[in-house]
Chains A and B, each alone.
Chain A
Amino acid sequence: MSRSEYRSTVLQSLKTMLIAGKYGLERWSYVLQRISGVVVALYFIAHVLETGNFIGGITVWSVPDYSFAEKAYEETVKLLKNPLFDVGLAVVGFLVTFHTINGIRLILAHFGFFLGKPRRPEPFEPPVSFSTRQRALFWLSISLAVFALLYALDSLMRVFRT
């Protein structure tokens, strides 16, 4: 595969993965699950690195002085103390909650729960796999994720006020 073909394939894959187009609610669920999965994984790595700094980062096994940890903590707090990181944290709260609840919906679907039974296709009837219960679970994941976002923003506002 040539370099331009490779680039075109990667771009096409990203486009398919990130744009739901006109494919309906289930495709939006797929796109959000992809995005939230990647963001949460990146957040987890950043979080481990950030908290690991307090105890010496990669030199953790040599057990640094207390003063080193104190300095690293102060530097990290200084770096993170800006509204961008705070809002980012609220968004991470939204994504983690959505990914968890929607993930449970998908696991239940693996076991055949809330899917409905195969039946003869009828005109203008949605597919059985787009059952009311499946969609209710999707909207539940969105609702709880919005609640998590609002709760995190409210907590931040209280921090800002004090």
Chain B
Amino acid sequence: MAASVKFRVYRYRPEDGGKGFYREYEVPVKKGMTILDGLLYIKESLDPTLSIRYSCRMAICGSCGMRVNGIETLACHTQISELRRRVITVEPMKNFPVIKDLVTDMAVLFKKQRALLTWLIRRDLVEQENPTHQYIQSDEELERYLQFTYCIQCGLCYSACPVVSTFPDFYGPQPLMKMYRYFADSRDEGGKERIDLVDKFEGVWRCHFAGSCSMVCPKGVDPALAIQLLRRASLRG
């Protein structure tokens, strides 16, 4: 492994207006060092004006999503050694407005999630507040949606989606996957109401099954599968 690598980091200051630019930093590398460690080294030792968002440092919180060498990844989950490159280009996620440097505004993602009713819908509100019995699920019922609960809402799939890039009104992989998670839950009573929300042009029908969302997910969630299954449900009515 090289003793140091060159970080080519996207910089953008909203107060300056105009376009962003790239600045290069030489970063000494230690065994096991992640991209986030490298960025923190830059911030602490080379350039304190660099803005990044991070929290848990162990791929749980989904805060440090960014593009590293052209592909979406969590900075804390990617070791420098695994990239096998002397120059590492770090950019903010696509399809989100950039607030500063590598920090993006993810409000659009959460807004779309809310629009798709990403919570359990129960018709009997009295029973919901004061349940009279347990709502036990079989293993098969659990398997139908379990993998989609692993989503940490990091936004990498939304950034990788080529359809969102060309048609921003498309709900995007994460909100649609999240909606399917509840649709497939045996306790949910959303049913037709949910399908009506996504059975339209900017819903499931705009997806072209490019699969980039599933490819970049750091938790192994498969939004492309969820969207195809929602489509099947729309077709079956």
Contacts and interface: CB of A to CB of B under 8 A. Distances in A.
**Bound pair: A and B?**
yes
B211 A24 contact: yes
B221 A121 contact: yes
Contacts of B224: 26, 127, 129
Given A23-B210, A118-B222, 14 more contacts: A16-B162, A25-B211, A29-B211, A30-B210, A109-B228, A112-B228, A118-B144, A119-B147, A120-B143, A120-B146, A125-B220, A127-B217, A127-B225, A129-B225
A122 B220 contact: yes
A139 B209 CA distance: 16
Nearest to A22: B71
B147 A118 contact: yes
A33 B208 contact: yes
The 6 closest A-B pairs by CB, nearest first: A121-B220, A26-B211, A30-B210, A112-B232, A127-B214, A129-B225
B209 A106 contact: yes
Contacts of B134: none
B143 A117 contact: yes
A78 interface: no
A122 B221 CA distance: 10
Contact of B232 (A111, A121, A127): A111
Contacts of A112: 228-229, 231-232
Contacts, number: 115
Contact of B166 (A17, A110, A118, A129): A17
Nearest to B232: A112
A26 to B, nearest CB: 3
A26 B36 CA distance: 29
B225 A128 contact: yes
Contacts of B166: 13, 16-17
Interface of A: 12-13, 16-17, 21-27, 29-30, 33-34, 106, 109-112, 115-123, 125, 127-130
Contacts of B208: 30, 33-34, 106
Nearest to B146: A120
B219 interface: yes
A118 B222 CA distance: 8
9 contacts: A12-B165, A26-B211, A27-B162, A27-B211, A27-B212, A111-B231, A120-B143, A121-B220, A127-B211
Contacts of A121: 147, 150, 219-222
B225 A22 contact: no
Contact of A116 (B148, B220, B225, B235): B225
Contacts of A25: 211
A29 B209 CA distance: 9
A71 B220 CA distance: 64
A46 B224 CA distance: 36
A43 B224 CA distance: 31
Contact of B210 (A29, A118, A127, A128): A29
